[in-house]
Structure 1
Amino acid sequence: MVPIAVGGLIAWAIAGLVCLLARDWLADTGRTDWLWTCLAGLLVGLPGLAVMLRHDAHRRRRQGRVSPAEPPTAS
């Protein structure tokens, strides 16, 4: 899931840059909200990426403790 989140963040960043380049046109047509939407998408995606990174780290840690070939030991 992390690559998908990173891809989404990159897409929002590129869309935001395009909106910045077209800022005058957006203002003329009353679509300045598009720039703010890109910023919101980027800012909401960052905590989502952090959650996914943490989830993957926990999953790797769980898989590292018990390999699928051997049964778990009683502690």
Structure 2
Amino acid sequence: MPRLQEIHANLVDRLREARDQGWLGEVAAIETTMAAAAQKLEAMRDRAAQPSTVHLGMPDFRRDAGRTSAEPER
């Protein structure tokens, strides 16, 4: 996430430069990239806010723990 935040900040600088230079195609491309980066950051924040552990319960070994072969003959 920190790297994506850094990229987004860099895009803001590039957008300012593109507007100053009148590079309309570059402005459109940077705006599209910024929107995608913002969407990805939002998804990452949502994911980070979710619990990171999942309760799987306790397995029930009682059925499988018994012997399945017959007792050896004596």
Q: Under a length normalisation based on structure 1, what TM-score does the superposition of the two structures give?
A: 0.59
The answer to whether the aligner puts 1:65 opposite 2:46 as a matched pair is: no
Larger Rg over CA atoms = 2
List runs of 5+ in structure 1 lacking aligned partners. Answer: 17-37
RMSD of aligned residue pairs (Cα, Å): 1.6
Cα displacement (A) at 1:4: 1.1
Q: Runs ≥4 in structure 1, deviation > 4 angstroms?
A: none
1:8-23 alignment runs, 5 A limit: 8-16=14-22
Percent identical across equivalent pairs? 14
State the number of aligned residues: 50
Cα displacement (A) at 1:13: 0.7
For 2:55 and 2:11, how far apart are their aligned partners in 1?
Answer: 37
Larger helix fraction of residues: 1
Which structure ranks higher in relative contact order (CA pairs < 8 Å, sequence separation ≥ 6)?
1
